[in-house]
Chain A
Amino acid sequence: MGLESLLKQDGYFTTKVDALVAWARKSSVWPMPMGISCCAIEMMAVGDPKYDIARFGSEVMRFTPRQCDLMIVAGTVTYKMAPVVKKIYDQMPEPKWVIAMGACTASGGIYRTYSVVQGIDQFLPVDCYLAGCPPRPDNLLNALIMIQDKIGRTKAADFKNVKSPELELTSRN
């Protein structure tokens, strides 16, 4: 089974570089826990032994964006918070992915009001929208699996000409 049985036969196997890189990338997605409000509690629950995000290789929650490739935006993003979220996203190295966790983040949720951004896709490229208020931890794992599928389909050439944007220093906040 798996790699060992393959190597036992001939000692080598052939694959594509793209497949190998994508496999390596998707098997250790390091999340940036952007916990802004109550969804963050469910995100923390994903790290505990009951749900155990380590089974998917994503237990390394980094609190510096420089070491992350998946941003989990967990919670209500207000207009005041939006530049901060964007700045942290910009600091993450390419390639990177975003999960919009919960109803507020995906669409504004119950906060249909002047202070809350009605969906973070207005200023971030979102890869996976996660329903629920808050979503159950299983649901976040499901989103992670979906992201892994997406990463698994990428090719090295997809990121060839992607440049990190110049960091915009805003006067706000």
Chain B
Amino acid sequence: MPLPAPPIPDPKRAVLATEDWIEYRTGYPTLVRKFLFRKVPHTGWFHTLGSSLLTVFILQATTGILLAMSYDPSPAGAYQSIRYITDDQTFGWLIRGMHKWGASVMVILLFLHMGRTFFYGAYKYPREMTWLTGSLIFISVMGMGLTGYLLVWDQRAYWASVVAININGTAPVLGPFISKFLLSGPVFNYLTISRFYALHMLAIPSAIVALIFVHMWLIVKLGVTPWPSRPVEGEVDR
């Protein structure tokens, strides 16, 4: 007597079973679904600036990690290691170029995103905290620009950083202490580049990641800001 044919495996059921397995143990599928498939008002291209920023930040983090694998944050070796990355390493020119241009793109997008938020009135009740966390991200990104600029360690990087540090020094009372904090001493020294490196790749990015989580949570909780206009009869999503 022939055995019954084994059931044909159903890939859809296999996927769903896996998802259920994860769902029961972590709840992540629900979290992701609620995050991705939430209701949003009528949006336009201006609403894509925030997620563009997030994308550029992820690119900066990725290329930054790759660059850190070949970078030597010391006065004697920094410039040579940058030369090596740019000229000799496989696709080093691409990774460094992405990081360099990505930095500018991020600042530009940040200003556009901030402008969109401002002109849409999206900073108003109940989204004040979203604006404030965004402002902290803005300051952090400026800090990334300042600390990253020195790491190239060419003449422009060096003198631009000297000027930036001295600008901090001109603030009354606290200024001189801030500049010595940035210099890691009373004058430009061997530790300055290490300090900028640590701030650039550890301290400030951690702060940005934490702030992004808070920022995103508030966006999900409060919803995307609709266009600033009077409600229209019959439209429900405003």
A, B bound? no
B residues within 8 Å of A by Cβ? none
Q: Give residues in A with beta carbon < 8 Å to B.
A: none
